[in-house]
Amino acid sequence: MDFLSLAGIAVALAMDAFAVALAAGLILPRLTFRHLFRFGFHFGLFQALMPILGWLAGISLRSHIEAYDHWLAFVLLSLVGGKMLKEALTRDEDTPREGDPTRGLSLIMLSIATSIDALAIGLSLSLLGITIWTPALVIGLTACALTVCGMLLGSRLSAAWGQRVEIVGGLLLIAIGAKILIEHTLLT
């Protein structure tokens, strides 16, 4: 596989991570290096590991995974987005936001939800007889870089828009989940 094709695949896979990171950057009251590191590291790690898992699974699991991967991504993103919406709509404007999407179960759910497509890429690469190590590294590094960029952009937009951008972030996560669901159910 040539590098240009690989870079295109890596950027395409990282777009969901970028959008989720943008939403996270919008809702964090103060973005720190720890936030950037946790999100970038986890999203990059999951984006790198999923194609490896898909590649190792090979053709035997492909039909089972394709049947529900889009539903899993939709549910995970909708749960996190719905939680963000609920908190934004029920919290007083002067009360600081609780929770941190760069920690705990939210971080794991978002990491999995944004990297499920990378699993399918790994399966596809195994069918083509392409070794996975270089693609996994490029995919992981690209996801990490775009995640950090998304968080930084989200933080800047949050400073300009004010505290209620959490609603936008929650709606964005639900929209990403819906997009994945629509792409896999209506367009296939």
Higher pLDDT, 188 or 46: 46
Average pLDDT, the chain: 82
Q: Give the model confidence (pLDDT) of 48-95 as tens digits.
A: 999 999 888 875 666 666 677 778 777 777 877 787 778 777 766 555
- What confidence score (pLDDT) does residue 53 get? 92
The pLDDT of residue 140: 97
Mean pLDDT across 138-161: 90
Q: Where are the domains of the chain?
A: 3-185
Of 173, 186, 167, 166, nearest to 75 (Cα)? Answer: 173
pLDDT band for position 134 (50/70/90)?
very high
Query: Which residues, including other chains, have CB under 8 Å from residue 67's CB and lie 6 or more apart?
Result: none
Top-confidence residue, 133 or 187:
133
Q: 91 near 97, Cβ under 8 Å?
A: yes
* 0.75 surpassed by pTM: no
Q: What DSSP character marks residue 180?
A: H
Could you tell me if 83 and 169 are in contact, meaning their C-beta atoms sit under 8 angstroms apart? Answer: no
Query: Is residue 165 pLDDT above 60, yes or no?
Result: yes
Q: What is the pLDDT of residue 8?
A: 87
Please give the average per-residue pLDDT across 127-153, as a whole number.
Answer: 92
Q: 167: closest CA among 90, 75, 72, 77?
A: 90
Predicted local confidence at residue 75, as pLDDT = 78
